[in-house]
Chains A and B, each alone.
Chain A
Amino acid sequence: MKNSLKVAKWEYKQNMNSKSFIISLFLTPLFFIAFSLFPAVFDALKSEPEPVKVYLHDEIGIRDQAETFLKSQGVKWEIENISTDEVALIKDKLIKEKNSAFVSFSEETLKNGEVKVYTSKKIDKDFNKQVQLLKSPIQRLQIERLNIPEEEMDVLTKGIEIEATPVTEKAEDKTKDPLKRIIPGVFAGVILFSIVITGMMIFQSASQEKKEKVAEIVLSSLTSSELMQGKIIGYFALGITQVFVWILLIIPFIAWKSDIPILEYLIVPETLLLLLIAIAGYLMFAAIFAGIGATIEDVNTAGNFQGFVLLLPWLPLILIKPVSANPEGIIAQIGSYFPLTSPGILIIRLSMMESWPWMEIVISLVILIATIWVLMKLAGKIFKTGMLMYGKNATPKEILKWLFHS
């Protein structure tokens, strides 16, 4: 273990001194911030839309109420009252003008609920929605005319909302907060992403060590399993440092842009389980990368088989759609049991599900941990032979031979 830590420290230090790593370390969160600022910048650049010119023929004296209500909903119209004489000419006017409309409130409106609205050919695309808002002041005026007391009027104008609530065994607190699950889930997802990305560097590091022919001199000082462990620990530390820097830069930004108390959501016991899943995911892929990396001397001439290995961590992306559509469905369950997709799928599911399927979580983790154990053993065997084989990339046939004959 002592030797592994020395290797880990070396790998960590070498990468932290590498300009390209440092650049990507800071560029990633800066890109994130820049991209999330883009929409705001575009909004700022976009000129305010011209307000719709509304010719209003108001026979019932509703203009003030309507205008106040529209304002409260953020709708800006340029309203011009017109007389009954002018109504006859309004159609001609609308044909000539752009972005204009005619709205007429008459006694008919109160009686039958009919509002006459004409628009010019071209008009703000939101106008149709905006005009619907007029229903509310009209209804209110209708009720007023019926001489119903204020309180009863409130009841009538409130409208009706219908919402179905699924019945579960537990007493549900009705104030569902999706962020409660999503924030720790996203956090664990980012960690998994970061450590798997640095874990891919193990692949490169093992292959580079072969290419630079330094493996033999290193292996004269320690065993191959110590070297492999050291690399796995070193790149884990590197991944965690990466997340730490990202979080340090991004969390204050999110706190500034929104009022979400991220830390409160994060400091919950559930985060620990999600972190455990992320770390297990790392260990599994790290073992695969270390083993396969040790079979490659030149990354550029590596065969499809080895290239395919680098795609494995992205396997859960294929399932993301069915799993997010139904986090309790059969695909989600299979995805959680299959080790290569298990960490990613579990994190996605647990970020979406209000009550966690503990039995499934335990089974998935047992399968995952057993897989890690087996993969570490196998990777160790491949690593031991692979690191000292110079001059060519190993074929899948050779790799199989090392697994079963050493």
Chain B
Amino acid sequence: MSKPILSVNQVGKSFKDKRIIENISFDVHKGEIMAILGPNGAGKSTTIRNIMGIMYPDEGSVIFHNQAAGDIPRHTIGYLPEERGLYKKAKIIDLLLYFAELKDYPLKKARKRALEYLAKFGLEGKEKASIEELSKGMGQKVQFIASVIHEPELLILDEPFSGLDPVSQEVFKKEIKELAENGTSILLSSHQMNLVEELCDRLFMINKGKKVIHGVLDDVKKQYANFKCTIRGENDVKTLERISHVQRIEQEGEQFTIYLDAHIKPTSWLRQLPDSINIEELSLDRISLHEIFIDIATGKNALQEAGVQT
């Protein structure tokens, strides 16, 4: 794996007596997309704000590897905060050039990039418009451009998809992928698992300020996401419970979701299903990040039940 750009080591932060995050450690490598996932209030934004030097961690350290210790390389970081906003009366192009100037990025290049990005995001010809003339979605696009205008080495996006319509979400996803392919390291936070699942290389799932899962997406899926079998048909729960390797069953009318033990072989398991089961439809797939996430957020510890070591 390429060398890390950013290392977060055992960072902790409290407000008054309340522990917001503790013992948070991860790296972000060059050209990868690293996701911090977790429900609202899990500590994602606090972690990011500690990285950005907007807050200072009570313990632990944040190291930017291309920088002297203790310094935040503001000019090579792009940041899209969770709290979105722009100067409402300013013209779009003025605003983008101001943010580029704050990062010491050459203005001529910045203007060219700004116009290219505006065209790419469907805002062509709007550069002279003021922010207050734009819709919320358009405003978010301008903010995204502002965070990447100076070609940052490290791009930190706090909930980049919140408030976007599906079409804009796709545009952002595509752009984030492209940036990573071109060598930008990306750290993003989100509570929208389905979007992140398709996007990130590695993930760090956090709940109540503590690490829940950390690793490469595929490994996490292989390791943690057990299989589940969904059957639709008239059946008795008791019959289904008698099948081997079943952990628990959720019933919704005629639909049964059967959660299976770790490390089963799907084909062997399917073979041993009794003939008496009524099957209208059947599907077998892994538990998605989304479901793990829901379980965490609602307090059910599906991971423990699935025998996952955290």
Q: Which residue of B lies closest to A391 (CB)?
A: B83
Is residue B101 contacting chain A, with contact meaning CB distance below 8 A? yes
Given A217-B147, A220-B52, A221-B102, A14 and B89 contact (CB-CB distance below 8 Å): yes
Is there contact, CB below 8 Å, between B86 and A216? Answer: no
Is residue A319 contacting chain B, with contact meaning CB distance below 8 A? no
Q: A213: which B residues are within 8 A, CB to CB?
A: 81, 83-85
Is there contact, CB below 8 Å, between B86 and A3? Answer: no
Is there contact, CB below 8 Å, between A14 and B143? Answer: no
- Cross-chain contact of A220 among B54, B84, B86 (Cβ < 8 A): B54
Is there contact, CB below 8 Å, between A212 and B88? Answer: yes
Is residue A222 contacting chain B, with contact meaning CB distance below 8 A? yes
Given A6-B101, A10-B98, A388-B54, A217 and B81 contact (CB-CB distance below 8 Å): yes
Flag B61-96 by CB within 8 Å of A: 1 or 0 each: 000000000000011010111011111111000100
Is residue B188 contacting chain A, with contact meaning CB distance below 8 A? no
Is there contact, CB below 8 Å, between B87 and A214? Answer: yes
Q: A218: which B residues are within 8 A, CB to CB?
A: 102
Q: A219: which B residues are within 8 A, CB to CB?
A: 54
Q: What is the CB-to-nearest-CB distance from A127 to chain B, in angstroms, rounded to a whole number? A: 63
Q: B103: which A residues are within 8 A, CB to CB?
A: 221
Bound-state Cα–Cα, A219 to B143, Å: 14
Is residue B114 contacting chain A, with contact meaning CB distance below 8 A? no
Indicate the size class of the contact surface on chain A. 20 to 34
- Cross-chain contact of A221 among B74, B83, B89, B94 (Cβ < 8 A): B74
Q: B143: which A residues are within 8 A, CB to CB?
A: 217
Q: A221: which B residues are within 8 A, CB to CB?
A: 74-75, 99, 102-103
Q: A211: which B residues are within 8 A, CB to CB?
A: 85
Bound-state Cα–Cα, A216 to B87, Å: 12
Indicate the size class of the contact surface on chain B. 20 to 34
Is there contact, CB below 8 Å, between B87 and A220? Answer: no
Given A14-B90, A217-B146, A220-B74, A212 and B102 contact (CB-CB distance below 8 Å): no
Given A14-B90, A220-B74, A222-B74, A3 and B85 contact (CB-CB distance below 8 Å): no
Is there contact, CB below 8 Å, between B86 and A214? Answer: yes
Given A217-B79, A217-B81, A217-B143, A222 and B87 contact (CB-CB distance below 8 Å): no
Is residue A18 contacting chain B, with contact meaning CB distance below 8 A? yes
Q: A118: which B residues are within 8 A, CB to CB?
A: none
Given A14-B89, A212-B85, A220 and B98 contact (CB-CB distance below 8 Å): no
Is there contact, CB below 8 Å, between A212 and B87? Answer: yes
Q: What is the CB-to-nearest-CB distance from A368 to chain B, in angstroms, rounded to a whole number? A: 33
Bound-state Cα–Cα, A390 to B49, Å: 14
> Restricting to A184-223, which residues have a CB under 8 Å from any CB of B?
209, 211-214, 216-222
Bound-state Cα–Cα, A13 to B95, Å: 11
- Cross-chain contact of A216 among B74, B77, B81, B90 (Cβ < 8 A): B81
Q: Which residue of A lies closest to B52 (CB)?
A: A220
Q: Which residue of B lies closest to A218 (CB)?
A: B102
Q: Which of B77, B80, B89, B147 has its CB near the most chain A CB atoms (within 10 A)? A: B89
Q: B83: which A residues are within 8 A, CB to CB?
A: 213, 216, 390
Is there contact, CB below 8 Å, between A6 and B54? Answer: no
Q: What is the CB-to-nearest-CB distance from B90 to chain A, in angstroms, rounded to a whole number? A: 6
Is there contact, CB below 8 Å, between B99 and A216? Answer: no
Q: A14: which B residues are within 8 A, CB to CB?
A: 87, 89-90, 94
Q: B77: which A residues are within 8 A, CB to CB?
A: 220
Is there contact, CB below 8 Å, between B90 and A220? Answer: no
Q: What is the CB-to-nearest-CB distance from A209 to chain B, in angstroms, rounded to a whole number? A: 8
Q: Which residue of B lies closest to A10 (CB)?
A: B98
Q: What is the CB-to-nearest-CB distance from A2 to chain B, in angstroms, rounded to a whole number? A: 8
- Cross-chain contact of B102 among A209, A222, A388 (Cβ < 8 A): A222
Bound-state Cα–Cα, A214 to B81, Å: 9
Q: A212: which B residues are within 8 A, CB to CB?
A: 85-88
Q: B79: which A residues are within 8 A, CB to CB?
A: 216-217, 220
Q: B88: which A residues are within 8 A, CB to CB?
A: 212
Is there contact, CB below 8 Å, between B102 and A6? Answer: yes
Bound-state Cα–Cα, A53 to B241, Å: 127
Q: What is the CB-to-nearest-CB distance from B233 to chain A, in angstroms, rounded to a whole number? A: 51
Bound-state Cα–Cα, A13 to B94, Å: 10
Q: What is the CB-to-nearest-CB distance from A204 to chain B, in angstroms, rounded to a whole number? A: 12
Q: What is the CB-to-nearest-CB distance from A43 to chain B, in angstroms, rounded to a whole number? A: 45
Bound-state Cα–Cα, A53 to B80, Å: 88
Bound-state Cα–Cα, A211 to B83, Å: 11
Q: Which residue of A lies closest to B156 (CB)?
A: A220
Q: A13: which B residues are within 8 A, CB to CB?
A: 94
Given A220-B77, A221-B74, A388-B54, A214 and B102 contact (CB-CB distance below 8 Å): no
Flag A1-44 by CB within 8 Å of B: 1 or 0 each: 00100100010011000100000000000000000000000000
Is there contact, CB below 8 Å, between B54 and A217? Answer: no
Flag B97-132 by CB within 8 Å of A: 1 or 0 each: 011011100000000000000000000000000000
Q: What is the CB-to-nearest-CB distance from B136 to chain A, in angstroms, rounded to a whole number? A: 12
Q: What are the 3 tightest A-B residue pairs by CB atom distance, in nearest-first order?
A: A213-B85, A221-B102, A220-B79
Taking A10-B98, A217-B147 as given, write out 20 further A-B residue pairs in contact, using a Cβ cutoff of 8 Å, ordered by the A residue number.
A6-B98, A6-B101, A6-B102, A14-B87, A14-B94, A212-B87, A212-B88, A214-B86, A216-B79, A216-B81, A217-B79, A217-B85, A217-B86, A217-B143, A217-B146, A220-B52, A220-B54, A221-B75, A221-B102, A222-B102
What are 10 pairs between A and B in contact, CB < 8 Å?
A10-B98, A213-B83, A213-B84, A213-B85, A214-B85, A217-B79, A217-B143, A220-B54, A220-B74, A221-B103
